[in-house]
Amino acid sequence: MSEMGVRVPQRLDDAERILIFSMDEFIGFIITFGMGLALGNALLALGASLGVLFGLRQLKAGAGLGGGLRWLFWNGLGDYFRISASPPPYIRHWVL
């Protein structure tokens, strides 16, 4: 017998990647970036597509929609979106 051996794939469940993106991230990034370029604003296109990329990665990380809402709340955008009736997290009131 020859000693060439047989190469067996170690991970069959790995997602297919395009550059550094998984397939769903790539599609969301390209669609958002393309729409922004069609509107004629490359900076807006890049910002919106990075936002979509961040949102998709949050959803895939198991945080779901709640993770995105918590991020909005703790970064001071909760007042704008009326996420919670609680006071804003960036204003601290100390009780002595």
Record the pTM. Answer: 0.54
User: Which range scores top for mean pLDDT: 17-26, 37-46, 72-81, 85-94?
Assistant: 37-46
d(CA 71, CA 91) in angstroms, rounded, equals 16
Measured CA to CA in angstroms, residue 51 lies from 9, 33, 46, 65 at distances of 34, 11, 9, 14
Asked if 76 contacts 91 with a C-beta cutoff of 8 angstroms, the reply is no
